[in-house]
């Protein structure tokens, strides 16, 4: 079935370090891909998305490129801040299937000063 696999956390970085959180997916069609972020004590919120192959989503310094050939949507940021500490969820959706978001397990990021 359709699924999303994320790298296990926690990911611990120092401020200004480079961030990569890996995400790969399995889907029978051509899904749209999303990154959601959950700050402590809050609900999830959309960070960025890409709807077709080679699209790059970006927001708040974060980027992710939809790679159809490797079925991946890795999240990157060039210089993380303490305020980026949160749990990051990769998700997929496509209209030909279940018409609902399928989330990965989430990756916790902790950034230290």
Partner 1 sequence: DAGVIQSPRHEVTEMGQEVTLRCKPISGHNSLFWYRQTMMRGLELLIYFNNNVPIDDSGMPEDRFSAKMPNASFSTLKIQPSEPRDSAVYFCASSFRVAGEENEQFFGPGTRLTVL
Q: Which residues bind to partner 1, rule: CB under 8 A?
A: 32, 34, 41-46, 49, 89, 93, 95, 98-101, 103, 105-106
Smallest distance, partner 1 to C-beta of residue 32, A = 5
Is residue 5 a contact partner of residue 103, using CB atoms and an 8 Å limit? no
Distances from the Cα of 6 to the Cα of 15, 16, 22, 90, 112, angstroms: 22, 23, 6, 7, 22
Work out whether the CA dihedral 18, 23, 24, 27 comes out positive or negative.
negative
Closer Cβ to partner 1, 80 or 91, answer by number: 91
Smallest distance, partner 1 to C-beta of residue 18, A = 26
Closer Cβ to partner 1, 67 or 108, answer by number: 108
Smallest distance, partner 1 to C-beta of residue 14, A = 26
Closer Cβ to partner 1, 100 or 113, answer by number: 100
């Amino acid at each position: 079935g359709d699924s999303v696999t994320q790298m296990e956390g926690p990911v611990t970085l120092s401020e200004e370090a480079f961030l990569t959180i890996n995400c790969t997916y399995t889907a029978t069609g051509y899904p749209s891909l999303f990154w959601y972020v959950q700050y402590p004590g809050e609900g999830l919120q959309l960070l960025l998305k890409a709807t077709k192959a080679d699209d790059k989503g970006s927001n708040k310094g974060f980027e992710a490129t939809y790679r159809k050939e490797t079925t991946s949507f890795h999240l990157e940021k060039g210089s993380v801040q303490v305020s980026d500490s949160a749990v990051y969820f990769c998700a997929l959706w496509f209209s030909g299937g279940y018409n609902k978001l399928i989330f990965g397990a989430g990756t916790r990021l902790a950034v230290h000063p």
